[in-house]
Structure 1
Amino acid sequence: MIDNNHKTAVIFGVRNDSSIAYDVAVKLHRSGCRIALSYVKDTKDNVLHLLRELGLSEDRAMEVDVRDEQQIAAFFEMVSATLGPVDYILHGVAFGSQQVMCYSLPGSGLPAPGYLDIPFEDLMDSFNISAYSLLRIVRVSLPYLAQEASVLTLTYNASQRVFPGYAGMAINKAALENIVIYLADQLRDKQVRVNAISAGLVMTTSAGGINGVRKLRKMGRITAPLGNIDVGDVGDTALYYFSGLSRKVTGNIHFVDGGFNIMGVAIDEKG
């Protein structure tokens, strides 16, 4: 059992009870960690419900737009003042518009946007939220971090391989992974470790925006040596990074995908 008593975690990206960040928050709480959650207007009710469900005060949450440095700073100031230095940060935020993800709404009658036609402005807003926000959050958090703090983000294998349905979001994930390794080097003097979990495709609300998501899940079930994963598998791995067990691990892109990433080609059910 990992003991996180007297530790404090700041969690960005809880959406609802199917989200990876939700599972991580619950498991950190159960390990004894003090948790604080950010939310946006669309996720406020779900975040506050989680806190009530865990018997925690709603004061542990704050509305934060990760594009706004002042809001991030206010959040860390609140956490530091009430819970103490921050030991762990989960960066679980991502966003891509229909134009970035290249999909159209069912029944709209409109063709899906093409990859070659992704608007620059849409992509930059998506990049700001999904990738650059990690750099911004770490920069703002430095005065509030405890010694040997751990920062963790969530990525996907589309950063390295072609998943047509992931479209422009793959650009963001590639950038995010590069930010991880450079931050790991930049923060060496502070002994702050920075890592990423490359999760297999799980059926979260966000995954619903990926073209062909159910087909990809079927491929994962057949192709990955250990089959598909669920949010709990990612949460369990996150707990390793949010503990002393990973104190000498940094700059790592950790696959939790049932081994899907090692396969060169898809295989059928007969192998």
Structure 2
Amino acid sequence: MINNNDKVAIVFGVRNDSSIAFDIALKLHQSGCKVALSYVAENKEEVLFLMQQHGINSQFAAEVDVRDEAQLTGFVKAVYNGLGPVDYILHGVAFGNQQVMCYSTPGSNEPAPSYLNIPFDDLMDSFNISAYSLLRICRVAEPFLAKNASVLTLTYNASQRVFPGYAGMGINKAALENIVLYLASYFRDLGVRVNAISAGLVMTTSAGGINGVRKLRKLGKVTAPLGNIDAGDVGNTALYYFSDLSKKVTGNIHFVDGGFNIMGVAVDGE
């Protein structure tokens, strides 16, 4: 078992118990970490209930808009003052509305929005939350990081491949992965490592509202050499990055998708 006793972790992106970020937060807690979670107003009660249910101290949990540098600074500084230097940061935040992602909802007769018509302002807000926020978080956190700290984000293979119903979010994930590379280089003198997990499709609350997701899960089950994944598979890999086992690994895009990414064609399971 990885021993993270006395380590301090900040986790951004927990919405509910189906969130990948929550599985990672729980594994960090179970490994001995002192974990501080951020939340948004609409999920406050659910996040605080989950923390109570699983014995995670909610003293330093806070409502944070990752677009607001002042809020981020206040949150990270409060964690630093209360718990000590920050060893681990998970950036599990992403958002794109229906116009950005170009999906139709299950049961709807309305066609999916057109990729050519993605509204610029919507895309920029999505980029701000889903990609640029990693840069902003690292800028804010830099003075409060422990020696050899680890920063991890969550990406998706739509950064490199076409996935209908993800569209503009693919732009954000491509940008996010590039930000990971540059941050990994930037932090060389501090020994801080920055990596990303490219997770396979997990049936989170957000994914469940996209038309065609269940078909993609069915396809993944037979196409990926190891089949579909769940949030726990991502959490297990995250724990590697949130430990000394990965102390010389940085700038890595680590696929946890059952091998789906290596396949050139879909495998027909019928």
TM range (shorter): over 0.9
- Gaps in structure 2 of 5+ consecutive residues: none
User: Matched residues in 1 for 2:109 and 2:165: separation?
Assistant: 19
User: Matched residues in 2 for 1:122 and 1:138: separation?
Assistant: 24
The residue matched to 2:165 in structure 1 has which SS?
A: helix
User: Matched residues in 2 for 1:210 and 1:261: separation?
Assistant: 21
Matched, 1:21 2:25: no
Counterpart in the other structure of 1:83: 83
By how many angstroms is 1:104 displaced? 3.8
Range with bigger deviation, 226-235 or 209-218:
209-218
TM-score, scaled to structure 2: 0.97
- Gaps in structure 1 of 5+ consecutive residues: none
Change (3 A) 1:107 1:162: closer
Amino acid at match of 1:66: V
Matched, 1:136 2:127: no
Structure 2 matches for 1:1-271, cutoff 5 A? 1-106=1-106, 109-269=109-269
By how many angstroms is 1:109 displaced? 4.9
Deviations 1:127-146 (CA, angstroms, capped at 9, x unpaired) = 00000000000000001000
The residue matched to 1:59 in structure 2 has which SS?
A: coil
Range with bigger deviation, 221-230 or 160-169:
160-169
Deviations 1:175-224 (CA, angstroms, capped at 9, x unpaired) = 00000001000110111000000000010012124331011101100100
The residue matched to 1:58 in structure 2 has which SS?
A: coil
TM-score, scaled to structure 1: 0.97
By how many angstroms is 1:53 displaced? 1.3
User: Matched residues in 2 for 1:106 and 1:269: separation?
Assistant: 23
Identical amino acids, percent of aligned pairs: 75
The residue matched to 1:71 in structure 2 has which SS?
A: helix
Give the root-mean-square deviation of aligned CA atoms.
Answer: 1.2
By how many angstroms is 1:108 displaced? 5.8
Change (3 A) 1:83 1:209: same
User: Matched residues in 2 for 1:199 and 1:107: separation?
Assistant: 27
Contact 1:166 1:211 in 2 (8 A): no
By how many angstroms is 1:54 displaced? 2.5
Contact 1:101 1:210 in 2 (8 A): no
Amino acid at match of 2:74: A
Contact 1:88 1:149 in 2 (8 A): yes
Deviations 1:69-93 (CA, angstroms, capped at 9, x unpaired) = 0000000011011111000000000
Range with bigger deviation, 154-163 or 97-106:
97-106
By how many angstroms is 1:39 displaced? 0.3
User: Matched residues in 2 for 1:261 and 1:49: separation?
Assistant: 36
By how many angstroms is 1:55 displaced? 2.4
Deviations 1:126-168 (CA, angstroms, capped at 9, x unpaired) = 0000000000000000010000000000000000011122111
The residue matched to 1:187 in structure 2 has which SS?
A: helix
User: Matched residues in 1 for 2:210 and 2:87: separation?
Assistant: 33
The residue matched to 1:42 in structure 2 has which SS?
A: helix
The residue matched to 2:36 in structure 1 has which SS?
A: strand
Aligned residues: 270
Contact 2:155 2:196 in 1 (8 A): yes
User: Matched residues in 2 for 1:4 and 1:134: separation?
Assistant: 23
User: Matched residues in 2 for 1:43 and 1:56: separation?
Assistant: 16
Range with bigger deviation, 100-109 or 55-64:
100-109
